[in-house]
Amino acid sequence: MSQTRIKRDDEVLVISGKDKGKRGAVIRILVEQNRVVVEGVNMVTRHVKAQPGVAQTGMVQGEGSIALSNVMLIDPETGAAGRTGQRVLEDGTKVRVVKSGKRS
């Protein structure tokens, strides 16, 4: 099973496709398909048939998945999008960082 650099509840920017430029929080990650579901992005309409116990029927709007390669993590400190990497702190813990192109 592969790992992703983007985690649930991360703020991401859509970098390509019909929703290019939109920002949202990651709701769900589909690791096997390399796809993510982002809040308010790629809205699709589904037709839900009436069934006992189902509250909402008819045409229901919801988020569809988009390819993981089409999103980029937003740095919470600067608000800019960028590629991610890992850095090891002095105490040995690993943290995710957004690569800025600057030498550290």
Largest CA distance in the chain: 60
Tokens of 12: 């991401």
Pick the CATH number of 11-79 from 3.90.226.10, 3.40.190.10, 2.40.50.140, 2.30.30.30: 2.30.30.30
DSSP-assigned letter for residue 75: P
- Alpha-carbon distance 54 to 47, whole Å? 13
Residue 70: name the closest of 28, 27, 37 by CA. 37
- Alpha-carbon distance 78 to 86, whole Å? 17
Q: What is the pTM of this model?
A: 0.81
30-48 confidence digits (pLDDT tens) = 999 999 999 999 999 999 8
Q: What percent of the chain has pLDDT over 70?
A: 94
| Residue in the structure block whose two tokens are 């600057």 | 102
When pLDDT is cut at 50, 70 and 90, the band that residue 104 belongs to is very low
- What pLDDT sits at residue 101? 61
